């Protein structure tokens, strides 16, 4: 069975408040799952239960066939966990901390220096090995946490906002590292960066108020966007009103959004129910001589879907919005 991680109806209550409410999901070997949701949705709490740091109120997590409990050492040995925020033990140096983590995984003493070197190398820590962790910058603390998560070569990686606080070069490096590690592992990353989902994740789960509200590949999720098959074009500002009113009369058009760009106006023609309107618009543009540039068809937008499923309607702002006549 290549499912390495499974959550079954995981639930966490804090007093009367339910932070995580029946989350079920599975991640296969070779798969990177993006775990998304607004602040307070329950991502970190779910991850703490998956890693055995927090006991669920009900439900369970299974890693490589082992049920995770706070005391199941066998299950926890298979997991690499990057918690939110900075690593503990700020008064240790990077090297001391990584050696301490290696020892806690029962890595033989003679192997520890090599294991520490190789994990530190993977996230470029060599310049700060003898520096105390509490004196490191935010990004370097994040990298120390990542090195600690991967040094025992775990089968399952649970990374809570792994690129938070990293500079663009490091973000890129860490994504590459995650990609490379994913080949023979199951990985869950939580993130607020939607491009990261496109760049890295095979599948994404969006949660809101402790429940799963969407689950699919990035392109499946994008397909749920109101902007899928929307047509965007740049027209001279002077022609915009005239063009927009002609566009409103095209069959299948729901509304037109417009945003000013210097002497031009960017018009976004949103279809009814993702209808294919590009050809009809292209034909009219050609015969009407609209001086259209940058004509493109939208594949759908993850940010729009995220808003739709986490706060109801995701109508985007525009300098003017014209409703189509029905």
Ligand X SMILES: Nc1ncnc2c1ncn2[C@@H]1O[C@H](COP(=O)(O)OP(=O)(O)OP(=O)(O)O)[C@@H](O)[C@H]1O
- Positions in the binding site for ligand X (CB under 6 A): 14, 19, 37, 39-45, 84
Q: DSSP assignment, residue 132?
A: B
Q: What span, in angstroms and rounded, lies between the C-alpha atoms of 248 and 71?
A: 63
Contacts with 268 (C-beta within 8 Å, 6 or more apart), sequence order: 227, 230, 231, 232, 256, 257, 258, 259, 298, 318
Question: CB of residue 40 vs ligand X: minimum separation in angstroms?
Answer: 4
Q: Which string of x and - marks every residue 70-99 that binds Mg ion (by CB under 5 A)?
A: --------------x---------------
Give the tokens for residue 27.
């991640």
Out of Mg ion, ligand X, none, what residue 127 binds, judged by CB under 5 to 8 A for its kind, is none
Question: CB of residue 114 vs Mg ion: minimum separation in angstroms?
Answer: 33
Question: CB of residue 266 vs Mg ion: minimum separation in angstroms?
Answer: 35
Out of ligand X, Mg ion, none, what residue 14 binds, judged by CB under 5 to 8 A for its kind, is ligand X
Q: What span, in angstroms and rounded, lies between the C-alpha atoms of 229 and 178?
A: 32
Out of Mg ion, ligand X, none, what residue 114 binds, judged by CB under 5 to 8 A for its kind, is none
By CB under 5 A, is residue 44 in contact with Mg ion? yes
Question: CB of residue 293 vs Mg ion: minimum separation in angstroms?
Answer: 43
Task: Kindly tell me which of 11 and 45 has the beta carbon lying closer to ligand X.
Answer: 45
Q: Are strands 79-82 and 58-63 parallel, antiparallel or unpaired?
A: unpaired
Helices 138-150/112-122 angle, 10° precision: 130
Task: Kindly tell me which of 40 and 127 has the beta carbon lying closer to ligand X.
Answer: 40
Touching Mg ion, residues 264-293 (CB under 5 A):
none
Q: Quick check: 12 and 18 in contact, CB under 8 A?
A: yes
Task: Kindly tell me which of 34 and 300 has the beta carbon lying closer to ligand X.
Answer: 34
Question: CB of residue 162 vs Mg ion: minimum separation in angstroms?
Answer: 12
Task: Kindly tell me which of 48 and 222 has the beta carbon lying closer to ligand X.
Answer: 48
Task: Kindly tell me which of 35 and 290 has the beta carbon lying closer to ligand X.
Answer: 35
Nearest Cα to Cα of residue 243 among 220, 266, 212:
266
Task: Kindly tell me which of 36 and 119 has the beta carbon lying closer to Mg ion.
Answer: 36
By CB under 5 A, is residue 163 in contact with Mg ion? no
By CB under 5 A, is residue 208 in contact with Mg ion? no
Q: Quick check: 232 and 298 in contact, CB under 8 A?
A: yes
Q: Residue written as tokens 């409410």?
A: 21
Nearest Cα to Cα of residue 257 among 309, 323, 199, 208:
323
Helices 240-248/278-288 angle, 10° precision: 130
Out of ligand X, Mg ion, none, what residue 300 binds, judged by CB under 5 to 8 A for its kind, is none
């Amino acid at each position: 069975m290549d499912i390495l991680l499974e959550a079954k109806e995981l639930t966490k209550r804090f007093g009367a408040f339910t932070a995580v409410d029946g989350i079920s999901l599975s991640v296969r070997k070779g798969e990177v799952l993006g775990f998304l949701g607004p602040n307070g949705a329950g991502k970190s709490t779910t991850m703490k239960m998956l890693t055995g740091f927090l006991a669920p109120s009900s439900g369970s997590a299974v890693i490589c066939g082992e049920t995770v409990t706070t005391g199941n050492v066998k299950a926890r040995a298979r997991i690499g966990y990057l918690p939110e925020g900075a690593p503990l033990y700020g008064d240790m140096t990077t090297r001391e901390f990584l050696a301490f983590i290696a020892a806690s995984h029962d890595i033989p003493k003679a192997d520890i220096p090599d294991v520490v070197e190789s994990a530190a190398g993977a996230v470029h820590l060599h310049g700060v090995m003898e520096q105390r962790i509490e004196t490191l910058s935010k990004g370097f603390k994040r990298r120390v946490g990542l090195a600690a998560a991967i040094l025992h070569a775990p089968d399952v990686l649970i990374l809570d906002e792994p690129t938070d606080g990293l500079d663009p070069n490091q973000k890129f490096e860490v994504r590459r590292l995650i990609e490379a590690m994913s080949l023979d592992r199951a990985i869950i990353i939580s993130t607020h960066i939607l491009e990261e989902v496109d760049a890295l994740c095979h599948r994404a789960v969006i949660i809101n108020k402790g429940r799963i509200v969407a689950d699919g590949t990035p392109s499946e999720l994008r397909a749920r966007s109101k902007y899928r098959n929307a047509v965007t074009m740049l027209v001279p500002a002077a022609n915009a009103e005239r063009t927009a009113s002609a566009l409103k009369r095209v069959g299948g058009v729901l509304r037109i959004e417009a945003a000013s760009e210097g002497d031009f106006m960017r018009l976004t023609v949103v279809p009814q129910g993702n209808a294919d309107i590009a050809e009809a618009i292209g034909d009219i543009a050609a015969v009407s001589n609209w001086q259209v540039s940058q004509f493109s068809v939208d594949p759908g937008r993850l940010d729009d879907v995220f808003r739709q499923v986490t706060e109801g309607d995701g109508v985007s702002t525009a300098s003017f919005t014209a409703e189509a006549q029905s």
